């Protein structure tokens, strides 16, 4: 089913990149600007791709949607809702202008990630403009076409440093028949142990988060299965009454960073670790998402301290959002430093896709 064909700006964007190559003018790729805070600060001419939008092809029976990168998530979700389907990796929406291209370029996934997969896992194919102004297509619109060197998934999380994403083909999933959230009041240590235990069981869990001494357990599936699982796991049912009397929480608030926790004048860090990692040696406020594998921390500690904290835990730290500029004035490092071998690999990929260093140079690391 073809839905939209009149907002294709491929020729315009290709021309702009070719002009930039000729002029040796670096470009900063922008669209909805809902994630403008994410990544290193770069000083380049903007290339706005927000008008390259629209759903190109959507086959509900095939569970595949192909969309242009400037398409807003609100438009995509509206169309999917008509067929009781969803983006299973739950990309965050930090404002109404959040686009699918930005979500894929940043590689961001929501609370279902440990149970359903990440953004990268749902990308079947993509079309890009590389740093030489060439149009390239990778993958396809069916799962059997994604074998071999999967450059389409390589674009996920590359922050536009390898190419301007023109369109993506995404696997979608049916919405669950029923969902409910259970709440248990626990200590941090007990919550981490229980999350690890629950994740190893054959329960229909689609979300595990520990926040403000409360463990939230989301179940998704048939009503009969959820009733049985609820009886085994126990806990209070998350309802509007609970929210009003105890703590305001929803999975959408968590993923979209609209919980009170995220309304802070401190810097926001994300530290990814193995789920069995104990609580980190830090006194700052923390949310434990992804069954304990994702730690959101608000802190005024300097970058070096936080990066070392993650390194000691054998994890990866990201300075997700800078609120306190005083801690970041002399250090534009936003991501865990790469090993020598990984940095070499990144440089080779950058050289292959963007040999003139035109596209978002330095957005991930200063060397690329």
Q: Which has the minimum average pLDDT: 38-47, 96-105, 240-249, 352-361?
A: 240-249
Q: Which has the minimum average pLDDT: 144-158, 202-216, 248-262?
A: 144-158
From start to end of 213-330, where are the E strands? 214-221, 236-237, 267-272, 286-289, 294-299, 316-321
Is pLDDT above 90 for 331? no
Tokens of 228: 């049985």
pLDDT for the residue numbered 150? 76
* pLDDT tens by residue, 286-306: 999 999 999 999 999 999 999
- 276 and 213, same domain (yes or no): no
- Strand pairing class (27-30; 286-289): unpaired
- 59 and 140, same domain (yes or no): yes
Question: Do 57 and 6 meet the contact criterion of CB atoms below 8 Å apart?
Answer: no
pLDDT for the residue numbered 323? 84
Q: Domain total for the chain? A: 3
In a domain, 368, yes or no: no
Question: Do 254 and 287 meet the contact criterion of CB atoms below 8 Å apart?
Answer: yes
Tell which of 153, 174, 195 closes a domain. 174
Tokens of 158: 């590359």
Read off the CATH number of the domain in which 195 is found: 3.30.70
* pLDDT tens by residue, 332-361: 789 999 999 999 999 999 999 999 999 999
In a domain, 347, yes or no: no
Cα distance between residue 127 and residue 136, in whole Å: 6
- What mean pLDDT comes out for the span 119-137? 95
Is pLDDT above 50 for 145? no
Cα distance between residue 72 and residue 93, in whole Å: 10
What is the 8-class DSSP label of residue 299?
E
In a domain, 154, yes or no: yes
Percent of the chain with pLDDT over 70: 92
In a domain, 337, yes or no: no
| Arithmetic mean of pLDDT over the chain | 92
Confidence bin at 127 (pLDDT 50/70/90): very high
* pLDDT tens by residue, 28-61: 999 999 999 999 999 999 999 999 999 999 999 9
- The SS3 call for residue 29 is strand
- The SS3 call for residue 349 is helix
Q: Is the pTM of this model over 0.85?
A: yes
Cα distance between residue 297 and residue 232, in whole Å: 32
Note down the domain range covering 193: 178-255
In a domain, 362, yes or no: no
Confidence bin at 243 (pLDDT 50/70/90): low
In a domain, 356, yes or no: no
- 152 and 16, same domain (yes or no): yes
The pair phi, psi for residue 348, each rounded to 5°, is -65, -40
Identify any residues that bridge with 176 across adjacent strands, giving them in sequence order. none
- 199 and 161, same domain (yes or no): no
Is pLDDT above 70 for 244? no
- 18 and 162, same domain (yes or no): yes
Cα distance between residue 16 and residue 358, in whole Å: 11
- 130 and 277, same domain (yes or no): no
pLDDT for the residue numbered 233? 97
Q: Which has the minimum average pLDDT: 138-152, 157-171, 213-227?
A: 138-152
Is pLDDT above 80 for 172? yes
- 97 and 200, same domain (yes or no): no
pLDDT for the residue numbered 333? 86
Tell which of 226, 255, 284 closes a domain. 255
Is pLDDT above 80 for 147? no
Tell which of 255, 272, 290 closes a domain. 255
In a domain, 304, yes or no: yes
Cα distance between residue 363 and residue 352, in whole Å: 17
- 14 and 151, same domain (yes or no): yes
- 215 and 275, same domain (yes or no): no
Is pLDDT above 70 for 313? yes
Confidence bin at 151 (pLDDT 50/70/90): confident
Confidence bin at 330 (pLDDT 50/70/90): very low
Read off the CATH number of the domain in which 57 is found: 3.30.465.10
pLDDT for the residue numbered 141? 61
Question: Do 28 and 44 meet the contact criterion of CB atoms below 8 Å apart?
Answer: yes
* pLDDT tens by residue, 255-288: 999 999 999 999 999 999 999 999 999 988 999 9
- The SS3 call for residue 208 is strand
* pLDDT tens by residue, 13-31: 999 999 999 999 999 999 9
- 23 and 144, same domain (yes or no): yes
In a domain, 344, yes or no: no
- 187 and 285, same domain (yes or no): no
- 56 and 99, same domain (yes or no): yes
pLDDT for the residue numbered 324? 65
From start to end of the chain, where are the E strands? 27-30, 45-48, 55-59, 64-68, 85-86, 123-129, 135-139, 164-171, 173-174, 178-185, 205-211, 214-221, 236-237, 267-272, 286-289, 294-299, 316-321
């Amino acid at each position: 089913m073809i839905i939209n064909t009149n907002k294709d700006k491929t020729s315009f964007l290709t021309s702009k990149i070719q002009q930039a190559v000729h002029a040796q003018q670096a470009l900063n790729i922008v669209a909805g600007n809902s994630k403008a805070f994410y990544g290193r600060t770069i000083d380049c001419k903007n290339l706005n791709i927000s008008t390259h939008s629209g759903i190109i092809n959507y086959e509900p029976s095939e569970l595949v949607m192909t969309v242009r990168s400037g398409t807003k998530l609100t438009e995509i979700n509206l169309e999917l809702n008509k067929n009781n389907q969803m983006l299973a990796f739950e990309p965050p929406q930090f404002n109404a202008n959040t686009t699918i291209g930005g979500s894929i370029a940043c590689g961001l996934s929501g609370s279902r990630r440990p149970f359903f997969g990440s953004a990268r896992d749902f990308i079947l194919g993509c079309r890009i403009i590389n740093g030489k102004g060439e149009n390239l297509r990778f993958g396809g619109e069916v799962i059997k076409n994604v074998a071999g060197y999967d450059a389409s998934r390589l674009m996920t999380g590359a922050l536009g440093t390898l190419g301007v994403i023109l369109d993506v083909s995404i696997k979608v999933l049916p919405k669950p028949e029923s969902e409910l959230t259970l709440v248990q009041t626990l200590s941090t240590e007990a919550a981490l142990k229980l999350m690890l235990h629950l994740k190893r069981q054959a329960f229909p869990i689609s979300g595990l988060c520990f926040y403000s001494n409360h463990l939230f357990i989301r179940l998704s599936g048939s009503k009969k299965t959820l009733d049985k699982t609820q009886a085994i796991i126990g806990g209070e049912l998350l309802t509007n009454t609970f929210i009003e009397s105890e703590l305001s929480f929803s999975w959408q608030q968590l993923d979209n960073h609209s919980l009170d926790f995220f309304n802070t004048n401190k810097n926001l860090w994300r530290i990814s670790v193995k789920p069995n990692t104990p609580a980190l040696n830090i006194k700052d406020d923390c949310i434990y998402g992804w069954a304990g594998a994702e730690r959101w921390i608000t802190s005024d500690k300097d970058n070096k301290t936080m990066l070392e904290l993650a390194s000691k835990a054998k994890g990866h730290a990201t300075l997700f959002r800078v609120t306190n500029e005083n801690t970041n004035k002399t250090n534009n490092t936003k991501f865990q430093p790469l090993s020598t071998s990984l940095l070499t690999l990144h440089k080779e990929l950058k050289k292959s896709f963007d040999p003139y260093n035109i596209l978002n140079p330095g957005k991930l690391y200063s060397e690329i």
